[in-house]
Structure 1
Amino acid sequence: MQIQDLPYPDPGVPDVRSGPRFLWWLGRNQLRGQLKALAWGLLHFMAVSSLPFCVGFAVQAVVDRSGGRLAVAGGLMALACAANALGDTFLHRTAVTNWITAAARVQQLLARKAAQLGSVLTRRVAAGEVVAVSTGDVEKIGWFVEAVSRFTAAAVTIVLVCVGLVVYQPALGVVVAVGLPVLALAVLPLLPRATHRADIQREKAGHATELASDTVAGLRVLRGIGGEELFLDRYRRASQEVRHAAVRSARMWSLIASIQVLLPGLLLIAVVWYGVHLARQGRITVGELVTVYSSVMILTYPLRHFEEIAMAYSFSRPSAKRAARVLSLQRATPTEGEPGDTATEGEPGDTPAEGESSDQAVPNAREGGSAAAARAVTTGESGRPGTTAPAAPDVIAAGDARGAGLPSGDLYDPATGLLAPAGRLTAVVCGDPDAAGRLAERLGGHPSEPGTSVLLGGVPLDGLPLDSARAAVLVQDKDPVLLSGSLRELLDVPASGDVGAEEALAAAQCGDVLDALVQGSVDAEDPMDARVTERGRSLSGGQRQRLALARSLITDPEVLVLDEPTSAVDSHTEARIAQGVRDLRAGRTTVVLTSSPLLLDRADRVVLVHEGEVAAVGVHRELVRKEPRYRAVVTRETEDEAALSDALHKLNKLDELNELNKLDELDELDEIEETA
């Protein structure tokens, strides 16, 4: 793989069982590039290491006054220098290619994982950690993968040179052959401590990055409550901790580097002292002494790669561990052969809500599991039993849902028993906001555990190809993100084409938002050309929510799930949005997770989810009268107020019953009088 060939057509399936396994997988997937770097590295290091032999041969030729051998020595040195230049040039080229392609592979894997998980990613992993992995960690991982081939070439060169010195001059060659492994292994006892300090530095740096990301994301709110200085002080302290950890780590690595300089110097002194002693005895020639001395000097260069590979591994191991943790996140899939556990909403004998046909009901939880599952799977597009569920379609682009063979029909969550009938507006009330977020996650095709996948028209949503699932169901998160750019670019999303920008903006009540964007732009006469700042920071929370809602409405998916779409909007605007969404989404399946009475009152069907299960089903005004738990969530009643309201409701029932009894008694008296 060359740089110009990036990105990869398919980055592959990584081994994410651990950080070292992930590094090993990356290396295996770059085997061709690693072998090329190894070959050029051997040429480079061997050419450098051959220079001492050429120099020693030339010195001995001068001592022996041999012009022919001196010329040969000069020719060999010229050849070695040319090979050195060639090998060094292409080693650098291949090494940089390996580094960039390895980093690019990791970035593609991270991007693919982010696309698969969507907003679920930041719920499972801190946003700051994702940023740290996709920036600094990627470079460190690429560094280690690239350094392996150069280290291998250096190690092979050292072994070959030691063997060559032993053959060339056994007396001094043995000293060098014994001393060089000692030099290479002398720093091993220090590596665990250096690695530990590097891990601490990485951990503190990741924490500081997370803190910075959270502070920037909430800066507008912090300024509103005067808390920015508090968070800035926290970041300053975290930054100083990173600095201290980096200094401690650098001290250890500087100690290792000094040992790498000191020990070769001591070896060089020992070789020179012993070589001079042998030369005085006439056991070696001057040329051989110069050759061995020069070889020891040159070998300090490949020895540096032992220190580099240790540093690269120490820094890349925690980075690879973090990357593997992010890449190991998966969309939960149902176990093969495990039936989806289907359950109905409400209690046995519940009648359908007002305006709902009885043939849209789902099987009861107290029915046999296999029968219930069979009935759920055979619910077709119309939601009527007996219709065969459509097969999972091939991958199709988002926005091509209509007429593309995607499943349609009732949306059913077996984990909670929630049913959203096809073509209806269903509102879901959860007392716990976290439970609402988890439910929205499941409705988007991310079940919390295997076997609990949401069924769309009887087809498990997480069993569909990812693109098909996203074309069928769109989930708007509670805190949607607005990217910077023009409003036209913001609304340029994959869509069915049946809903235009003007319709969506009108339904989301974005009139004042358009006016604010035009006023904030210098040269934008058309509101669609007005600029939206990063994350819409120049807009209020309610304005951002309405723009995000308009973007979701334009998409016009088969099923639209909205998680608290109007939490930052005033009541008058909220009422108009509720009607606008109802009118625009007529005939389409819409699920709104909310506790707003204005939205609940516009819903065809209201479902109360309590402690992870459906507790009540009906319409808003009916549930407010009859269901205390629903009333407590929607009206924010306290427990005492709820108990008092329930008691008054029972008293009213008793009064009605007494009135009926009195009427019955009067009717009996009238009959007796008529008979008499």
Structure 2
Amino acid sequence: MRDYPPLVTAWTDRSAVASDPTVPDTRSPGRLLWWFIRNQGLLFVVCALLSLTWVLPGATAPWILGRAVDEGIVPGDTARLGVWVLALLAVTVVGAGSGVLYHTMVVRSWLVALYGTVSLVTHKSVQLGHVLPRRVPTGEVLSVSGSDSDQFGAFLEIVTRAIGEFIALVVVAVIVLRIDPELGAVILLVAPLLVLTSAPLLRPMGNAQTRERTRDSELTGRATDIVAGLRILRGIGGERTFGSNYAVQSQRVRHAGVRAGGWQALVESIGVLLSGLFVVALMWLGVARVRDGQLQIGELITFLGYALFLLQPIRTFFFLTQKATRAFVSARKSASVLGQPDPWPQDREGRLDPSGPLVDQASGLWVEPGELTVVVSADPDASAALADRLGRYLPRDVDPLSMDSDEDARGRAATAARRRAEEQRRTIQERDREQADRAWGVTLGGVDLADVPLEEVRRTILVSDTAAAVFAGTLQDAVDPHGRCTREQAEAALRAACAEDVYDITPGGWQGLLDERGRGLSGGQRQRLVLARALAHDPEVLVLVEPTSAVDAHTEAAIAERLGRHRLGRTTVVMSASPLLLHHADRVVFLSDGAVADRGTHDDLVARRPDYRRVVLRAASEEVPA
């Protein structure tokens, strides 16, 4: 039996059915929901069987009660009455025990679906890395991992319950048909009639839930952005503006939720109304049969019991339509995230030579192996773009699209809006694949980065930029997430990054816990911890982007002095205009308009290039946070 955490994989291919059962089928929402059912395998079957054994005793209880009245109470046969009482006790015990087991297993099934979805999203995020935010908003990813995973669990629960209650409905119909064919026909027709009655309401309810889901994911993304940039917002006084925008979006989510809830309430009210009418009609027909002498009193009690019993299956079928609609909406969103293809070619077999120079053809950068090279540019975006190219990262020139580009559209307009958004997403995917497949223009040891597997590039070249995050966990995990370092190596990385104070203030030392994003640390401490992590990894080629922008001058001077010693004999490229780092560089490269304008030592460039002096002096005069 499949238990949690379930086995899943990050790779999904929307163009073909994968033979690996752990690969979700994201070609359509329906296929993804069916994959969730197949992926649970025996667990789903067990839940359905337990649901049946839980519901069937309730389906037979009215018949047993009716037989007890007709064969035991009316004729005064105590023995027969005792037999039927024991039978009623037996089915009650079986039903109660099965109910406990069913609840236990269905919670397990729910957790498998929930944590399985979280694991799928995590693996997809790891697989695509920086590519995923180019295609999907951050809030959308979080919503799939958070709320949609719960919808899949609820869908599986209601499906297993509906299977058991459908079989019970058939059993009841057979029993009633044997007693009275006309009343049995009424019972058989009532469920399809209720479904047909509510069917026209499912599409507007689904559209309203989609609109609520889209606005909620946008609200989640906005909250994530605010939390990530809270320090900056406070510095520029932008909390009120962003808070107001968040409040506006929150109200839009509330309005969409009210509208979706209204449609859901309408569907439920129709279900309650028709269920009540059904009970009244069934009882009216049964009383008429007793009056005409066609039914015995015990059979009437049986009909009364079934009239009340059938309310639950009917409500379950209504819940099935509602939860299936929500699950379909969630599956469409999840398929858009999990079905994002990997743009990187899988057929590369080259190998990089770290002993050779690192060359960027677009800018003309030439980095000698084993040297500490500092790149200075008046345009920080040019330096960041160069660092991305050196690490084989796609350019940051695409804003992610929302899953629904026109959330207020309805009917055909909504369908057309989704098609336009899908076309735009496909265009971005094709552009990413085209960029990843062609020659990259950056070589290491004469080998283009596009000619080797991406794993080889990531193993050899490490880029640590200003967006690097600190994750929750121990200090040891933060510095050495892969568990490769000895204690001496980890301590050497902390010293080189001047991050010893982080160790000192963390209760428990290496096993002390850090909050998510390092919330208990200052900006400078977080930056130095990220630098220590990069140094502890000890790659053949290390690219650092503004590694000392958040530290004071004294600490920056110590880092500049220790960095070169720690990376001695390894190729290191630093994007910075800090004079303290420039003084310790083996070579300085000056970029102008994204291309190499000059190279040499810091003193030589200061002496012969006024534009270089302006950039460096401006950096030196800027106030550095403590």
TM-score, scaled relative to structure 1: 0.72
Does 1:450 pair with 2:408?
no
Matched, 1:30 2:40: yes
1:554 aligns with 2:536: yes
Displacement after TM superposition at 1:270 (Å): 1.3
| CA 325–312 in structure 1, closer or farther in 2 if over 3 Å, else same | same
Amino acid at match of 1:586: L
Separation in structure 2 between the aligned mates of residue 123 and residue 597 of structure 1, nearest angstrom: 35
Does the C-alpha gap of structure 1 residues 589 and 331 become closer, same or farther in structure 2, counting only changes over 3 Å?
farther
1:545 is aligned to 527
1:223 paired residue among 214, 230, 234: 234
Pick one of 241, 245, 256 that aligns with 2:256.
245
One-letter amino acid matched to 1:6: P
**Cα pair distance change 1:244/1:634, threshold 3 Å:** same
1:195 to 1:171, Cα distance in 2 relative to 1, 3 A? same
Percent of residue pairs bearing the same amino acid type: 38
Instruction: Report the counterpart of residue 474 of structure 1 in structure 2.
Output: 462
Query: 1:260 aligned to 254, 271, 285, which one?
Result: 271
Residue matched to 1:491: 479
Letter matched to residue 36 of structure 2 = L
Quote the Cα distance in structure 1 between the aligned partners of 2:540 and 2:341. 24
Give a deviation string over 1:168-213, Cα, whole Å, max 9, x none: 3212112222223212332222122222222222222222222222
Q: Which has the larger radius of gyration?
A: 1
Residue 101 of structure 1: CA displacement?
Answer: 1.0
Gaps in structure 1 of 5+ consecutive residues: 340-376, 384-409, 638-676
The separation in 1 between residues aligned to 2:322 and 2:269, in whole angstroms, is 14
AA partner of residue 318 (structure 1) = V
Partner residue of 1:309 out of 293, 308, 320? 320
Q: 2:497 aligns with which of 494, 502, 508?
A: 508
Displacement of 1:488: 5.7
In 2, Cα distance between equivalents of 1:47 and 1:321: 38
**1-side partners of 2:360 and 2:27: how far apart?**
31
Residue 194, structure 1, aligned to residue 244, structure 2: no
Cα distance in 1 for residues equivalent to 2:109 and 2:148:
16
Tell me which amino acid in the other structure corresponds to 2:201. Answer: L
Match of 1:277 among 288, 312, 315: 288
C-alpha displacement of 1:17: 3.3
Q: Distance in 2 between matches of 1:490 and 1:127?
A: 23
Q: Report 1 or 2 for greater relative contact order, CA contacts < 8 Å, sequence distance ≥ 6.
A: 2
Find the residue that maps to 1:14 and give its secondary structure. Answer: coil
Which deviations, in whole Å up to 9, do the C-alpha atoms of 1:205-244 show, x marking residues without a partner?
2222222222222222223333323333333333333333
Give distance in 1, aligned partners of 2:478 and 2:393: 26
Contact 1:44 1:84 in 2 (8 A): yes
Which residues in structure 2 correspond to 1:318-333 (within 5 Å)?
Answer: 318-333=329-344
Q: Secondary structure at the match of 1:606?
A: strand
| AA of the residue aligned to 1:588 | R
Aligned residues of 1:332 and 1:446 also touching (Cα < 8 A): no
| Structure 1 Cα separation of the partners of residues 364 and 153 of structure 2 | 47
Q: CA deviation at 1:484?
A: 5.5
The answer (yes or no) to whether the contact 1:422–1:588 under 8 Å persists in 2 is yes
Q: Distance in 2 between matches of 1:424 and 1:633?
A: 23
Deviation sequence 1:254-309 (CA, Å, 0-9, x none): 22222222111111111222222232222333333332332122011122222222
Is the contact made by 1:128 and 1:214 (CA closer than 8 Å) also made in structure 2?
A: no
CA distance in 1, matches of 2:180, 2:363: 81
Deviation per CA, 1:502-555, whole angstroms, max 9, x where unpaired?
A: 5434443457xx2x985x78x89x8x7988665344554344323321232122
How far apart, in 2, do the equivalents of 1:318 and 1:442 lie?
38
Instruction: Assess, with a 3 A threshold, how the Cα gap between structure 1 residues 116 and 591 changes in structure 2: closer, same or farther.
Output: farther
1:283/1:129 CA distance change after superposition, 3 Å: same
Contact 2:364 2:596 in 1 (8 A): no
Which of 558, 567, 579 pairs up with 1:585? 567
Q: Secondary structure at the match of 1:80?
A: helix
Which stretch shifts more, 450-459 or 580-589?
A: 450-459
CA contact (8 A) 2:283 2:307 kept: no
CA displacement at 1:100 relative to structure 2: 0.6
Cα distance in 2 for residues equivalent to 1:41 and 1:204? 36
1:89 to 79, 96, 100: 100
- Aligned residue number for residue 182 of structure 1: 193
Number of residue pairs matched by the alignment: 562
Q: Secondary structure at the match of 1:288?
A: helix
Residue number in structure 1 paired with 2:118: 107
Q: Pick the aligned partner of 1:567 from 516, 524, 549.
A: 549
Classify the secondary structure of the residue corresponding to 1:187: helix
For the 8 Å contact 1:137–1:319, the answer to whether it is kept is yes
C-alpha separation in 2, matches of 1:593 and 1:568: 14
Q: Which residue of 2 aligns with 1:39?
A: 49
Alignment of 1:425 onto 2:372:
yes
Q: CA, structure 1 residues 212+9, in 2 after alignment: closer, same or farther (shift >3 Å)?
A: closer
Q: 1:486 to 1:34 in 2, by over 3 A?
A: closer
The answer to whether the 8 A contact 1:425-1:591 is kept is yes
Instruction: Give the CA deviation at 1:119.
Output: 5.6
Cα deviation 1:133-176 (Å, max 9, x = unaligned): 32222222222133222222222332343244223321211222
* Deviations, residues 373-432 of structure 1 (Å, cap 9, x unaligned): xxxx6874543xxxxxxxxxxxxxxxxxxxxxxxxxx55667877654432334456676
Deviation at 1:558, TM superposition (A): 1.8
Larger mean CA deviation between 47-56 and 71-80 belongs to 71-80
Structure 2: gaps (5+ residues): 11-21, 395-431, 620-626
Offset at residue 109 of structure 1 (A)? 1.7
- The 1:630/1:186 distance shift into structure 2, 3 A limit, reads farther
Distance in structure 1 (CA, Å) of the matches to 2:511 and 2:59:
65
Structure-2 change in CA distance of 1:149 and 1:585 (3 Å): same
Alignment-derived partner of residue 660 in structure 1: none
Q: Please give the alpha-carbon distance, in whole angstroms, between the structure 1 residues aligned to 2:592 and 2:330.
A: 41
Q: Does 1:17 find its partner at 2:27?
A: yes
Matches of residues 108-257 of structure 1 in structure 2 within 5 Å? Answer: 108-118=119-129, 121-122=132-133, 124-257=135-268
Q: Is the 1:476–1:552 Cα contact (8 Å) retained in structure 2?
A: yes
User: SS of the residue aligned with 1:423?
Assistant: coil
- The letter for the 2-side match of 1:28 is R
Letter in 2 for 1:49: A
Change in CA separation of 1:41 and 1:129 when aligned onto 2, cut-off 3 Å: same
Q: Give secondary structure in 2 for the equivalent of 1:186.
A: helix
Q: Any conservation in 1 of the 2:365–2:596 contact (CA below 8 Å)?
A: no
**In structure 2, how many angstroms separate the alpha carbons of the residues matched to 1:424 and 1:462?**
25
Amino acid at match of 1:55: L
CA contact (8 A) 1:430 1:608 kept: yes
Which shows bigger deviation, 128-137 or 581-590? 128-137
TM superposition shift of 1:53: 1.4
**SS at 1:6's partner residue?**
coil
Letter in 1 for 2:95: N
CA distance in 2, matches of 1:490, 1:297: 60
Kindly provide the amino acid, as one letter, of the partner of residue 619 in structure 1. G
In the other structure, the counterpart of 2:600 is: 619
The equivalent of 1:52 in structure 2 is 62
Q: 1:551 to 1:157 in 2, by over 3 A?
A: same
Work out the CA distance in 2 between the residues paired with 1:463 and 1:184: 57
After TM superposition, the score normalised by the length of structure 2 is: 0.77
How far the C-alpha of 1:434 sits from its partner, in A, is: 5.0
- Determine helix, strand or coil for the equivalent of 2:436: coil
Give how far 1:20 is off: 3.3
Contact 1:418 1:607 in 2 (8 A): no
Root-mean-square deviation (CA, aligned residues, Å) is 3.9
CA contact (8 A) 1:461 1:469 kept: no
